[in-house]
Amino acid sequence: MQLGGEIEIGRLAYGAMRITGKGVWGPPEDPEEARAVLRRVQELGIDLIDTADSYGPEVSEELIAEVLHPYKGITIATKGGLERTGPGEWPRNGHPDHLKQACEGSLRRLRVERIDLYQLHSPDDDVPYEESVGAIKELQDEGKVKHVGISNVSVEQLEQAREIVDVVSVQNRFNLEDRHSEDVLERCEELGICFFPWFPLAAGDLAGPGGAAAEIADAHGVSTGQIALAWLLRRSPVIVPIPGTSSVAHLEQNFAAAEIELSDEEFERLSRAAV
């Protein structure tokens, strides 16, 4: 997959939300394991890491820079547009001034002069969407952002953003259990832009006893999470899942999913399964 027609990335990326504390708040319970995960990301050849200033907040970006800077062979994608008021609390802030300050903070923590991929984390109902996107376009024009992505959007918002800036990626929740962004994915396919499905391991009831994901996982001798990733990878060539974990063993398991080949029958069964 290519971002913006020039940055080549693999079919599986790493989501760096989980290298923080409980509730995505504060430092990780096991900082050394978090560092080991990031080192293993590089060793496995994973070439895109997705993070955000709100993960921690700031903790994820700081750890990434500590372990991996100067990012040889790795694209760093971060996000702005959410604030944190406590564990599990994610108020939106899409005001242009906030987004510009957020970008400056990410540049400093990541120790870069330009962010490879900067994503608007979410629309803010209190701010016209075009103003939020426009602020990121200004950051791009200033040379602080190379490519622009958006997240948690509708098709209408995608088209609205594309009128302002060249959008190279969309990041929405999408998995075996939740396919409400199917129309957004289809539009990304038409445009040839990258679709990052967040929360990609979820399979809901399909992972339970007698569920399609559980039975197919048993047949392959793998986990239901790996089957969920394998389904996403086959679902569309523009999909790049970003599974996150704070465990090296789980990281390796996730990325082994790229080797799983679902049969046509298995893929169709999962695709038809009740959501």
Chain segment 242-256, per-residue pLDDT in tens: 999 999 999 999 999
Divide the 275 residues of the chain into consecutive groups of 10 and give the mean pLDDT of each group.
92 98 97 98 97 98 98 97 96 98 98 98 98 98 98 98 98 97 98 97 93 97 98 98 97 97 98 77
Q: Name beta bridge partners: 82.
A: 92
Greatest alpha-carbon pair distance for the chain in Å reads 54
Question: How much is the pLDDT for 130?
Answer: 98
Q: How far is CA 124 from the centre of its chain?
A: 19
Question: How much is the pLDDT for 273?
Answer: 85
pTM for the complete prediction? Answer: 0.97
Domain 8-200+238-244: CATH superfamily, name plus number: NADP-dependent oxidoreductase domain (3.20.20.100)
Catalytic residues: 55
Distance CA 8, CA 2 (A): 5
For the record, the structure tokens of 195 come out as: 């679709």
Mean pLDDT value across the chain: 97
Q: Name beta bridge partners: 156.
A: none
Question: How much is the pLDDT for 177?
Answer: 94
